[in-house]
Structure 1
Amino acid sequence: MFGLLLNWMKSNKMLPQISDTERQALEAGSVWIDGEFFGGNPDFSKMLAEAYSRVSPEEQAFLDGPVEELMRMIDRYEINRTKQVPPEILEFLKSKGFMSFLIDKKYGGLKFSKLAISTIMAKVTSYNAGVGTYVVIPNTLGAAELIIHYGTQEQKDHYLPKLARGEYIPCFGLTEPTAGSDAASIKAEGEVFRDADGEIKIRLNFRKRYITLAPVANLVTLACKLRDPQELLGKGQEPGITCLMIHKGTPGFSSGDHHMPIGDAFDNGPLYGKDVVVPAGNIIGGVERAGQGWKMLMEQLAGGRAVSLPAGAVGGAKAVAAATGAYSMVRQQFGIAVGRMEGVEDKVGKIAALSYLLEASRVFGCSALDAGQEPPVTSAILKAYTTELSRQLIIDGMDVFSGAGVMQGPNNILGIGYSTAPVGVTVEGANIMTRTLIVFGQGAIRCHPHALEVVHGVEEGDVGKFRKHLLGWFGHVIAGFGRTLVRGLTRGWTVSVPEVAPETRTYYRRLGWAAARYGLYTDLAMFAIGGKLKARGKLTGRYADALAWQLLGFSALRRFEAEGRRAEDLPLVQYALEYSLTQVQQAYEGIIANFDGLLGSLLRLLVTPGLRLNPLATLPSDRLSHAAALTIQSHNAQFQRLTEYVFTPPENAGGLGRLLRAFRLVTEVQPILAKIHAAQKARKLPRGTAEELAGEAAHLGVIEREEANQVAAALAARLEAVEVDVFKPEQYYTDSKGSQGIYFGAPEPKRVVNG
């Protein structure tokens, strides 16, 4: 019976078909807490036991020392104006080991934790991407990481010390005009041959684009499709995707041209190769690793997506929180701080709470990597949702800054980040693709308790394995129906919740309820839609949303527990969870509304009324929005803790420096202004702004003369902080003769046709 069923499912393609490249992606890395949500019955005790780390004393000393020193060297406006990172900064990066965070100390590296690397990247990249790329690229997927994991000993001995010292500036050549998110479709080609002296070599032809540091790199790691017509490597005629190294100056290899990225200026450009010949020994890992490039990429991307891109996004979101909270209290209209107006306060509360959630997810994800996990589904979620959320929060921050946000110049705080935000959204696969193809496409099979084994059983014709896991799957579906019904009727009161803060217990219950529904809906999709799921991107995108917001919401809860249940942070946790669960609710409504066939019609008839009458959550209340906003509207210990690792320039500097000085002074005079307000209510002082009445209040003895001076200083600082840049005509206009020419693609002599 099961044998017949196996053959029927195989012939009718009832399960998703898995290609060789997809198989390698599915087998890369590990399943983490994402599996708890696919299982439909999360074990919160186990999940809370997962690491939530802090940087080590050595790493903190590096943050307090070289990183802070580096930040004070950066003139972000000048770097963007000239599009060049000054030589002294590059030398500082090399000499202090900023390019060696992945490399073991025996090779001259610093060997920091993933959390420390992410924290450094968050601080540097969110302030200036031009400098940040010289930290990010050497410490992410590329020469150092691949050599560490797969290189021969000879490659490690030669390359790692030079990479650690910055003698080699690396870049990674993957993306092409016809291969972006679909990296398995690259056209770059390498053909193995034996040269006249008998040495085995590889002739390369390629055209890459969007390669960060390509114009300045002297060591390129290239992904290509390797062909070996004479089978000289012993891997067949088509070994497959391979990663190898090319040195700048190799005949036929061309680099140095630039693309012009939107927003923050950073070195990015194309790579061209026409009959470039390299030794077979340039394959990372040597000849034995020929054809294993896709496996290498999938294994390292599984962890890497959780580090560099989330770091920049979360660092940016926290910088927005610091600046927007401050500006909302420094800027006044109608005699009050704009942050006290409910429309503005709503934006500030959202920024405060979601930046708290984003930081929680960054730290939690990196802690998992440092604990030995490499979860590809979680990494994809972190990449896609942190970059998208950061973009949303920057837009909200620009709304609060209003005119000060859109006037460019050295003192503009958010404008560059606003312009740069789309870059993170597109890197390492556009978020559209990550959301609609990767998260649920991989997760539904990899993280499900039975699906992958059923697929293996069908593919292998193993009736025993197929029977065991199919029956287990049926049992899982039945249990899922029961859990979803009971948890829905009780709003999660039957969910097992460990010892947590009493104020957050409701969120564990509702997450358990949401997870039961998620496990069931996943099973229904796998059975009813099966192999067609790949083509249903709109539907799978909603599944990705539901999973992502459950994971992000739990990250905020994990942070709250790890940081000692700080009562002052509770509004941020409550806002973050209400917001997250509302996104899950909306995803479920979209799934049911767009489910296929007769089952979809039944679900809409039976489930939709309950979804709407008994929702998981609604958007945070006005009261909660107010409480969340207050957490970043006073220059106090909480503000400084919530914006930890955001670079704060000296108070005598422009931009954020002068804004935070004004914010500090405005916060300090609030008790003094309260005395003036009280005197006004008692009719001891006339109507008017408290700041303007400070002198008269001192004269009448309502406040001390020194206090009046404090108010005057705060007023002066506030007025200075809201000024925008003004340029004289000779500074503003550019001679058209000095403008740079822009072209698309490569000049004709460098154009390469792959084939």
Structure 2
Amino acid sequence: MFSALMKWMQANKILPQISDTERQALEAGSVWIDGQFFAGQADFAKILAEPYGQLTAEEQAFIDGPCEELLAMFNRYDIQRTKRIPDEVFEFVKKNGFMSFLIPKQYGGLQFSTLAISTIMAKLSAYNGAVGTFVVIPNSLGAAELIKHYGTQQQKDDYLPKLATGEYVPCFGLTEPTAGSDAASIKAEGLVFRDSDGELKLKLNFRKRYITLAPLANLATIACRVHDPDNLLGKGEDVGITCVLLHKGTPGFSNGDHHDPIGDPFYNGPLIGKDVVVPVGNIIGGADYAGQGWRMLMEQLAGGRMVSLPAGAIGNARVAAAMTGAYSTVRQQFGISIGQMEGIEDKVGKMAALSYMLEGARIFGCTAVDNGIQPPVVSSVMKAYTTEIGRQLVTDGMDVFSGAGVMQGPNNILGAMYKSAPVSITVEGANIMTRTLMIFGQGATRCHPYALNVVHAVENSDVPKFRKNLLGWIGHFIGGLFRAEWHFLTRGAFVKVPDVAPETRKYYKRLGWTAARYGVLTDLAMFAIGGKLKARGKLTGRYADALAWQILALGALRRYEAEGRKTEDLPLVQYACEYALAQVQDAYVGIYQNFDGPMGAWMKTVGVFEARLNPVGAMPKDDLSVRAARTIQHYTPQYERLAANVFMPKNEEFGMARLFKAFKLVSATQTAYDTVAKAQRARKLPRGYTPADIADEAVKAGVISAEQAQALKDAQAARLAAIEVDAFKPEQYFAEVTPADGIEYKMAVNS
């Protein structure tokens, strides 16, 4: 019976069909907390036992020292205008080890933790994209990381010390005109041949684009498909995807041209190779690793997606929240700080809570990588959802800054990151593809307790293994149905929760309820839709949404526990969890409404009705957004903690410095401000004026002291300076177009 069933499943492609490249992706990395959601059983005691890291004293000293010094040494607006990083900045980066975070100390590197690398990237990239990417690329997927893990001993000895000092500036050439998110479709070719000197070599032909640091790089890693028609490597004619080191100046290799990325400018451009000849020894790992490039990339991307792009997005979100909270206090309309208006309050509260949540998820995920876990599904969630949420939060900040947000110049605080947000959405796999193909498409098979074993059994016609795992899956599904229905009827009241803060227990219970439902819905998708899931991107995108927001909510809860259950942070945790569960609820309703197959009719009627009748979440209530907003609308120790590692320039020529100064002064004088305002309402002082305008009269009336009056005046002066925007003289504003500019433009279009 099982043999016949297996043959029927093979013939009708009931299970997902897995290509060789997909197989390598599925086998790469680790199943982490994501496996508990696909199984429908969240073990919160086990999840909370997972480490939540801290920086070492050495790492924190680097952030407080060289990082601060680096960011203070350049004018970011000048870089925006000129698109050039000053030479002295390049030299500082190289001299102080900013390109060596990944590299072991024995090769001259700093050998920082993943958490430290992420924290540094978040700080740098949020202040300036050009300088940030010059540090990010050498410390993410590329030459140093691949050589460290897979290189021959000679490659490690030759390259790692020079990468550590910046003598080699690396870039990684993967993306092509016809291969972006579908990286397995690369057309770059490496042809194996024996040269006249008897040495085995590769002839490379490629055209790469969107390659960050390509214009500056003197060492490129090229991903290409190697062909060996004479089987000189002993691996057949089609060897497969391979990573090859290529030096600047090699005949036939050209780099140096620039793309012009939107927003904050950074060095990015094409790599072109025509009949470029290099020794086979330039393959990372040597000839033995020819054809292993895709596996190498999948293994490293599993952790890499957890690091650089989430760091940049979360750094932006943190800066946006900190500065928007400050601006909403400093900026006044109708005689009050705009942050007291409910519309503004709603935006600020959301920014404070979701940036808190994202930071918790970042630390939790990076700590997992530091502990040897390479979770591809969670990494994909982090990449796709932190960049998207980060974009939303920066947009919310722009709404609050309003005119001050859209007028460009040295005073503009959020404009560059607002314009740059689409960049992080597109790289290392466009978010649309990550959401609709990778997260659930990979996770449903990889993270499920039985699915991958069943797929392997069917592929290998292994009847005993098929019988064992299919029966296990059926039993698992039936148990999951009862568990999900029980939690639905009791709203998770009987979900097992360990010793956590009493105020947050209800969120664990609701997450346990949602996890049980997620497991059942995963099984239904595998049973009813099966091999057609790849084509159902809209549906699998909703599955990805449900998973992502459960994981992100855990980020907030895990942070709250790890940081000692700080009661002043409770509004942030509550808002984040309510918001996340509302997104999970929307995702589940969307799944029910669009589920096809044998269960489709029931799902679209009874399923939708039950989901709406007994929702797992709803958007945060108004009073919660007020309390969340207040956490970043006053300069307090809590604000300092939430804004930790946000670079605050000291030079008051820049808008951030002036805003921060005004924020501190306004916060410090709030009591005197309220005292004068109360006296005005009691008609002891003239109405219609700001407290600073009548400070001297308030002193005469005995309402405040002379020191308080001066402090009010200083705060008012700082407030007015902080809300100024830039104005340019005509000769500063207009640029002349020369004939040479026109020629270059035509050449760019025609190339």
Report TM bin, short chain: over 0.9
**d(CA) in 2 for partners of 1:412 and 1:717?**
16
Look up the match of 1:710: 711
CA distance in 2, matches of 1:618, 1:247: 55
Aligned to 2:734: 733
Aligned to 2:529: 529
Q: Where does residue 168 of structure 1 map in the other structure?
A: 168
Alignment CA distance shift 1:139-1:628 (3 Å): same
735-744 vs 151-160, which deviates more?
735-744
Q: Which amino acid aligns with 2:736?
A: D
Q: Are residue 506 (structure 1) and residue 506 (structure 2) matched?
A: yes
Deviates further, 729-738 or 417-426:
729-738
Instruction: Determine the C-alpha separation between the residues in 2 that align with 1:226 and 1:500.
Output: 54
| 2:701 match | 700
CA deviations over 1:235-287 (Å, ceiling 9, x no partner): 11111000001100000001100000000011000010110000000000000
Query: Distance in 2 between the 1:604 and 1:184 partners?
Result: 37
Q: Take 2:678 and 2:602, find their aligned partners in 1: how far apart are those partners?
A: 64
Q: Residues 739 and 344 from structure 1, CA distance in 2 versus in 1: closer, same or farther, beyond 3 angstroms?
A: farther
Q: Report the equivalent of 1:619.
A: 619
Greater mean alpha carbon deviation, residues 460-469 or residues 187-196: 460-469
In structure 2, the residue matched to 1:686 is 686
CA distance in 1, matches of 2:666, 2:673: 10
SS at structure 2 position matched to 1:208: strand
Paired AA for residue 510 in structure 1: R
Change beyond 3 A, Cα 1:745–1:21: farther
Offset at residue 743 of structure 1 (A):
4.3
Q: Deviations over 1:629-675 (max 9, x none)?
A: 00000011111100111111116342111000000000000011122
Q: Which runs of 5+ in 1 are unaligned?
A: none
Aligned counterparts of 1:747 and 1:542: Cα–Cα separation in 2: 39
**Contact persistence 1:138–1:169 (CA under 8 A):** yes
Q: TM-score under structure 1 normalisation?
A: 0.98
2:123 equivalent to 1:123: yes
SS at match of 2:127: coil
Kindly indicate whether residue 367 of structure 2 is the aligned counterpart of residue 367 of structure 1: yes
Deviations 1:402-452 (A, max 9, x none): 000000001100000100000000011110000000000100000001100
- The 5-angstrom pairing of residues 669-680 of structure 1 reads 669-680=669-680
Q: Matches of 2:570 and 2:126 in 1, distance apart?
A: 27
**Per-residue deviation, 1:401:** 0.2
Distance in 2, Cα, partners of 1:605 & 1:131: 54
Counterpart for residue 95 of structure 1: 95
Partner residue of 2:517? 517
Aligned residue runs from structure 1 range 482-501, under 5 A: 482-501=482-501
Whether contact under 8 Å (2:211, 2:269) holds in the other structure is: yes
Matched, 1:542 2:542: yes
- Asked if the contact 1:651–1:660 (Cα under 8 Å) also holds between the matched residues in 2, the reply is no
Please state how far the C-alpha of 1:739 moved relative to its aligned partner.
7.8
Equivalent AA in structure 1 for residue 648 of structure 2: T
SS at match of 1:172: strand
Contact 1:171 1:213 in 2 (8 A): yes
- Shift in Å, 1:701: 1.3
> Are 1:193 and 2:190 matched, yes or no?
no
- Assess, with a 3 A threshold, how the Cα gap between structure 1 residues 344 and 460 changes in structure 2: closer, same or farther: same
Residue 2 of structure 1: how far off its partner (Å):
1.0
Bigger drift between 677-686 and 652-661 goes to 677-686
Task: State whether structure 2 residue 18 is matched by structure 1 residue 18.
Answer: yes
Distance 2:729 2:584 in 1: 52
Moved more, 736-745 or 631-640: 736-745
Structure 1 residues 368 and 392, CA, compared in 2 at 3 Å: closer, same or farther?
A: same
- Checking the alignment, whether the CA contact within 8 Å between 2:528 and 2:598 is kept in structure 1 is no
Aligned counterparts of 2:277 and 2:182: Cα–Cα separation in 1:
26
- Once the two structures are superposed, residues 75-125 of structure 1 have per-residue CA deviations (whole angstroms, 9 ceiling, x without a partner) of 110011111111100000000000000000000000000000000000001
Deviation at 1:744, TM superposition (A): 8.1
Contact 1:651–1:661 (CA<8 Å) still a contact in 2? no
Note the C-alpha offset of 1:730.
0.9
Report the equivalent of 1:657: 657
Q: 1:574–1:651: structure 2 CA closer, same or farther, 3 Å change rule?
A: farther
Shift of 1:202: 0.4
Hey, what's the Cα distance between the residues in 2 that align with 1:423 and 1:483?
A: 42
- Output the CA distance in 2 between the equivalents of 1:220 and 1:518: 43
Structure 1 pair 312–470 and aligned structure 2 pair: CA distance change class (3 A): same
* Cα distance in 2 between the residues matched to 1:14 and 1:192: 40
Aligned residue pairs: how many?
749
Give how far 1:484 is off: 1.1
How far 1:229 sits from its partner (Å)?
A: 0.6
Matches within 5 A, 1:306-705: 306-650=306-650, 652-688=652-688, 689-705=690-706
The 2-side partners of 1:171 and 1:58 are apart by 28
Q: Distance in 2 between matches of 1:566 and 1:96?
A: 36
CA-CA distance at 1:461 after TM superposition: 1.1
1:720 corresponding residue in structure 2: 721
CA contact (8 A) 2:246 2:278 kept: yes
Deviation at 1:6, TM superposition (A): 1.1
Q: Which residue identity does 2:525 align to in structure 1?
A: A
**Residues of 2 paired with 1:581 and 1:600: CA distance?**
24
Other structure's SS at 2:278 match? strand
List runs of 5+ in structure 2 lacking aligned partners. Answer: none
AA at the equivalent of 1:582? A
Distance 2:682 2:556 in 1: 45
d(CA) in 2 for partners of 1:43, 1:54: 24
Distance 2:457 2:532 in 1: 20
Q: Residue type of the partner of 2:610?
A: G
Q: CA RMSD in A?
A: 1.1
Superimposed CA distance per residue, residues 718-741 of structure 1 (whole angstroms, 9 cap, x where no aligned partner): 000000001011111111228844
Provide the rounded CA distance (Å) in 1 between the counterparts of 2:362 and 2:171.
25
SS at match of 1:126: helix
Q: Per-residue deviation at 1:392?
A: 0.4
- Tell me whether 595-604 or 145-154 shows the greater mean CA deviation: 595-604
Q: How far does residue 691 in structure 1 lie from its aligned partner after superposition?
A: 2.4
Whole-angstrom CA distance in 2 between matches of 1:390 and 1:200: 48
TM-score, length-scaled by structure 2: 0.99
| Residue matched to 2:53 | 53
Alignment check: 8 A CA contact 2:681 2:687 kept: no
CA contact (8 A) 2:350 2:628 kept: yes
| Residues 745 and 146 of structure 1: CA distance in aligned 2, closer, same or farther (over 3 Å) | farther
CA distance in 1, matches of 2:553, 2:315: 19
- Measure, in 1, the Cα distance between the counterparts of 2:337 and 2:651: 21
Residues of 2 paired with 1:397 and 1:586: CA distance? Answer: 25
Q: Distance in 2 between matches of 1:327 and 1:496?
A: 43
- One-letter identity of the residue aligned with 1:729: P
- Give me the whole-angstrom Cα distance separating, in 2, the residues matched to 1:537 and 1:429: 15
Structure 2 counterpart of 1:346, one-letter code: D
Identical counterparts, % of pairs: 67
CA separation in 2, counterparts of 1:157 and 1:530? 49
Distance 2:424 2:635 in 1: 30
Output the amino acid matched with 1:648. Answer: M
Q: How far 1:42 moved relative to its partner? A: 0.5
Counterpart secondary structure, 1:444: helix
Q: Render the CA deviation track for 1:132-166: whole Å, top value 9, x for unaligned.
A: 11110000111000000000000000000000000
- Counterparts of 1:150-165 in structure 2 under 5 Å? 150-165=150-165
- Note the C-alpha offset of 1:592: 0.4
Partner of 2:105: 105
Counterpart mapping for 1:229-378 below 5 A:
229-378=229-378
- Residue-by-residue CA offset, 1:283-334 (whole Å, 9 max, x unaligned): 0000000000000000000000000000000000000011100000100000
Aligned partners of 1:439 and 1:126: how far apart in 2?
Answer: 27
Task: Classify the secondary structure of the residue corresponding to 2:208.
Answer: strand
